[in-house]
Structure 1
Amino acid sequence: MGEGDAIWAPSILPHSTLSTLSHHPELHFGGKMESKVSEGGLNVTLTIRLLMHGKEVGSIIGKKGETVKKMREESGARINISEGNCPERIVTITGPTDAIFKAFAMIAYKFEEDIINSMSNSPATSKPPVTLRLVVPASQCGSLIGKGGSKIKEIRESTGAQVQVAGDMLPNSTERAVTISGTPEAIIQCVKQICVVMLESPPKGATIPYRPKPASTPVIFAGGQAYTIQGQYAIPHPDQLTKLHQLAMQQTPFPPLGQTNPAFPGLDASPPASTHELTIPNDLIGCIIGRQGTKINEIRQMSGAQIKIANATEGSSERQITITGTPANISLAQYLINARLTSEVTGMGAL
């Protein structure tokens, strides 16, 4: 047998599963699975996806990646962690079943160690359970729950672990979260039983995997205000756009000639106009201007500010933008320009 090949043994799965497996040349769990018969044994490679919070991921990675490296070496499983500054990350564990169970055991014991360490600094006396969240195609959840909840009840009773299947699918996917909690030993037994169910009931149809969204972090500062990316839009935080817009609409940059404040004859009703300058890279100026100037005109109208874009100068990779208006006009214009840039840079489509 080649390296990484594993023979299904009755100690891992009941004998009935072996006969079930032999009738399924192609088996899938968590969207991906391969199986082949080699030297009389059945080699099955599983892929299991876990959903973890940033703190949990940090614990698994360890200092300079030492913990995850050790887990990979000792279990023989491939362990991949999704990229990004998301509050949630996907940890994918791939390998023969025995390697997967070893990796799960190491993760469960590591989480228990974290719980014990955190308790030494807190007055709590009862130890909370270890909790893991699997990401499972929704089409397999029915088999996991069983008729009238019979299967999930059987798993709970035989392993001592708590198992909860989420009622709703994870955002923009056809997957659900399955939460398992208990002692590390109970969790390992529970994962083994869930794997059996998944092998016997492959997913139906295409699975759209869950991809966690990046965290909403402040990305823009304008007029002393932070703006955050939420979904496809840059949003002032909190409710700032409405205030800015109202202010901008109340204060036109240049009042009509002859209109003065009756309380102070000779003085304009609006605060004096000020000027703010921005430099924008040449390759991004197009997204600010828009086709035939549509976007820049929209920004002018919404903000009430005057916006001038300087012509390209030879040898310069940037263009100068001059915004004139009240502080509120300028803040709103800056926000709208930044929102366009953020949208372009992050590839989120037109705002």
Structure 2
Amino acid sequence: MEPNKVQPEGGLNVTLTIRLLMHGKEVGSIIGKKGETVKKMREESGARINISEGNCPERIVTITGPTDAIFKAFAMIAYKFEEDIINSMSNSPATSKPPVTLRLVVPASQCGSLIGKGGSKIKEMRESTGAQVQVAGDMLPNSTERAVTISGTPEAIIQCVKQICVVMLESPPKGATIPYRPKPASTPVIFSGGQAYTIQGQYAIPHPDQLTKLHQLAMQQTPFTPLGQTTPAFPGLDASPPASTHELTIPNDLIGCIIGRQGTKINEIRQMSGAQIKIANAMEGLSERQITITGTPANISLAQYLINARFRDVAAMWNDPSSMTTS
């Protein structure tokens, strides 16, 4: 693709984020032994390649970088998948080689542009690249994103991804996007004090799939009383309720949302809630951080509500992992 085919003001230096939905087996192939394959892909393409964590049957692979770096990363992934297909065929009697298939995750607000008026754009993509392209009719669970499936030879897939990137650059998403986050394999969700948790090992981890719903729940809730503070104050007494402590464990990749640039967001939550909020330092080998909230039941309730609201507010940023870093 010539540079003038991409938006003129940025040329091929336009930074884009593309999200892929992969099965565990596909992710294992991309990571490779001791992470060697993904390391090589990062180095040779120049793109950032992030793989979502969690014990999920599906994982999100996020590729960020200038468009030419994204195309190189996609080429390497497509050829790796073709290599896997060839290797699996050596053990089977099948004679025709199945196509390589990739699933992109695209904000629903951009899917209309990909399909085009009366399906004209998607038809043009199929004819000009030789790839099969399908846009799912329904949004992925708990999100405003749809799956876009591309099948064909690696060469056809690369050409198709180039055309999809052009459309995505020309038609940015409208409004906030709630990104799809795959659910852990049959992990129960526990609700406590307006927050959803999944149990991972000995920790209760805030459950990202539920964060937007939680905000709606929190909007409807009166401040809750944490466990251990169930006795109402005696009427006529001005004494403040005794201070109590509540602990949350939050994944490292979400902690940046709470802290904000140079701590602005966490300070705002402290001031608005009146609670003391301490965030433990990152521990080597641990993928989560402990947050300790101290104050009256009302302070704690408000702090938790504000943390939930903060997650809701950054939902639109989840497409761009660079916005999740802690300053």
1:206 to 1:311, Cα distance in 2 relative to 1, 3 A? closer
Q: CA deviation at 1:287?
A: 28
Assess if the C-alpha contact under 8 Å between 1:140 and 1:201 holds in 2.
Answer: yes
Of 180, 186, 189, the match for 1:210 = 180
Provide Cα deviations, 1:218-269, integer angstroms capped at 9, x if missing partner.
9999999999999999999999999999999999999999999999999999
Match of 1:21 in 2: none
Provide Cα deviations, 1:68-125, integer angstroms capped at 9, x if missing partner.
0000000000000000010000000000011000000000000000000000011111
Larger RCO of the pair (alpha carbons < 8 Å, separation 6+):
2
1:123 to 1:273, Cα distance in 2 relative to 1, 3 A? farther
Deviates more, 1:117-126 or 1:225-234: 225-234
Secondary structure (helix, strand or coil) at the match of 1:42 reads helix
Assess if the C-alpha contact under 8 Å between 1:261 and 1:269 holds in 2.
Answer: no
Q: Which has the larger radius of gyration?
A: 1
Q: Distance between the aligned counterparts of 2:46 and 2:279, measured in 1?
A: 59
Deviates more, 1:279-288 or 1:208-217: 279-288
1:135 to 1:79, Cα distance in 2 relative to 1, 3 A? same
Q: CA deviation at 1:43?
A: 2.5
Q: How does 1:136-175 map to 2 (within 5 A)?
A: 136-175=106-145
Q: Distance between the aligned counterparts of 1:244 and 1:40, measured in 2?
A: 38
**TM (normalized to structure 2)?**
0.56
Secondary structure (helix, strand or coil) at the match of 2:78 reads helix
Q: Distance between the aligned counterparts of 1:257 and 1:44, measured in 2?
A: 51
Q: Distance between the aligned counterparts of 1:95 and 1:292, measured in 2?
A: 25
Q: Which runs of 5+ in 2 are unaligned?
A: 312-318
Deviates more, 1:129-138 or 1:223-232: 223-232
Q: Distance between the aligned counterparts of 2:102 and 2:116, measured in 1?
A: 21
Q: What is the identity percentage for the equivalent residue pairs of Structure 1 and Structure 2? A: 95
Secondary structure (helix, strand or coil) at the match of 1:239 reads helix
1:174 to 1:345, Cα distance in 2 relative to 1, 3 A? closer
1:350 to 1:165, Cα distance in 2 relative to 1, 3 A? same
Q: Distance between the aligned counterparts of 1:258 and 1:205, measured in 2?
A: 42
1:212 to 1:295, Cα distance in 2 relative to 1, 3 A? closer
Q: CA deviation at 1:216?
A: 1.5
Provide Cα deviations, 1:48-75, integer angstroms capped at 9, x if missing partner.
0000000000000000000000000000
Q: Distance between the aligned counterparts of 1:264 and 1:315, measured in 2?
A: 47
Assess if the C-alpha contact under 8 Å between 1:46 and 1:97 holds in 2.
Answer: yes
Match of 2:256 in 1: 286
Q: CA deviation at 1:277?
A: 27
Assess if the C-alpha contact under 8 Å between 2:190 and 2:196 holds in 1.
Answer: yes
1:319 to 1:114, Cα distance in 2 relative to 1, 3 A? closer
Q: Distance between the aligned counterparts of 2:15 and 2:234, measured in 1?
A: 82
Secondary structure (helix, strand or coil) at the match of 2:164 reads helix
1:154 to 1:230, Cα distance in 2 relative to 1, 3 A? farther
Match of 1:41 in 2: 11
Provide Cα deviations, 1:32-61, integer angstroms capped at 9, x if missing partner.
x99999999663101000000000000000
Q: CA deviation at 1:295?
A: 35
Assess if the C-alpha contact under 8 Å between 1:145 and 1:151 holds in 2.
Answer: yes
Assess if the C-alpha contact under 8 Å between 2:5 and 2:166 holds in 1.
Answer: no
1:181 to 1:270, Cα distance in 2 relative to 1, 3 A? same
Q: Distance between the aligned counterparts of 2:283 and 2:65, measured in 1?
A: 57
Q: Which runs of 5+ in 1 are unaligned?
A: 1-32
1:347 to 1:200, Cα distance in 2 relative to 1, 3 A? closer
Assess if the C-alpha contact under 8 Å between 1:340 and 1:350 holds in 2.
Answer: no
Secondary structure (helix, strand or coil) at the match of 2:27 reads helix
**TM (normalized to structure 1)?**
0.52
Q: How many residue pairs end up in the alignment?
A: 318
Match of 1:128 in 2: 98
Q: CA deviation at 1:194?
A: 0.5
Q: Distance between the aligned counterparts of 1:274 and 1:347, measured in 2?
A: 33
Q: Distance between the aligned counterparts of 1:257 and 1:99, measured in 2?
A: 51
